[in-house]
Amino acid sequence: MDTADPASIEAAARTVLVEHPDLDVLIAMAGIMRAEDWTDPAGSRATAEATVTTNLLGPIRLIAAFMEHLLAQPSATIMTVSSGLAFVPLRPTPTYNATKAAIHMLSESLRLQLAGTSVEVLELIPPAVRTDLMPGLATRESAMPLEDFVDEVMSLLEERPEATEIRVRRVELLRGAEARGDYPGVVAALNGSDLPAPA
Ligand SMILES: NC(=O)c1ccc[n+]([C@@H]2O[C@H](COP(=O)([O-])OP(=O)(O)OC[C@H]3O[C@@H](n4cnc5c(N)ncnc54)[C@H](OP(=O)(O)O)[C@@H]3O)[C@@H](O)[C@H]2O)c1
């Protein structure tokens, strides 16, 4: 499906639920991460709107499309995917950071509303991981190897079934910065690293 297209989500949900009537997990994983330069707002606006459509409206529309079905299951899970950048901003990607912060709060709020139902809300909070999300990320030394990330996530899912957030060790620096009181230092450290500057 194209998660930026509400009609595509609706059509895919109908097909999936016919073929898999006992489906009990929705993972809203699809996302894009594109650099913006807000000294050129005309150029940045289209990127920002596409980012909101895919990263925020996409999961919202997916959850809406599957919610009735999931609520009818004896137990079900919605996994959202935010980012360490929901908690500490990366300079080149303002709207990406904002959509991930919104996914975090959406997850927190849905969990409150769905308490007492059969549906749990689980938030996956990845650190930088070597994937094709951004140019150069797949080979970036400072990003976590994908296999290591997957292994640690699967271990956490098995070992901590009560968790509401899935956080590998590498993301704790960002996730806990504000609570620890070292937010300004973490913002400076993150944005002084080898990450790409806006064009
Ligand atoms: N890698 C990281 O460092 C990192 C860190 C924090 C959070 N995350 C989050 O993790 C999730 C997965 O990203 P990734 O790192 O695995 O990046 P990725 O390798 O680029 O994967 C993103 C996936 O999303 C799909 N996608 C994008 N737009 C879509 C659309 N409109 N409709 C359907 N599918 C769409 C892509 O499909 P196509 O290949 O067909 O385009 C691709 O399979 C994202 O939500 C990302 O924000 C990643």
Buried b (16+ CB within 10 A) or exposed e, 27-55: ebeebbbbbbeeeeeeebeebbeebbbbb
In this prediction the pTM is 0.96
Residue 16 beta carbon below 6 angstroms from any ligand 1 atom = no
33 near 195, Cβ under 8 Å?
no
Going from the N-terminus, what domains does the chain have, and what CATH number goes with each?
A: 6-191 (3.40.50.720)
In the chain, the amino acid numbered 113 is Q
Reply yes or no on whether the pLDDT at 194 is more than 70.
no
What beta strand segments (E) does the chain contain?
A: 25-28, 76-81, 119-124, 165-166
CA distance linking residue 91 with residue 46, whole number of Å: 18
pLDDT of residue 154: 98
User: Poorest-confidence range of 58-62, 71-75, 173-177, 195-199?
Assistant: 195-199
State pLDDT tens for residues 82-133. Answer: 999 999 999 999 999 999 999 999 999 999 999 999 999 999 999 999 999 9
Residue 30 beta carbon below 6 angstroms from any ligand 1 atom = yes
Which entry of 66, 87, 96, 149 is annotated as an active-site residue? 96
94 near 49, Cβ under 8 Å?
no
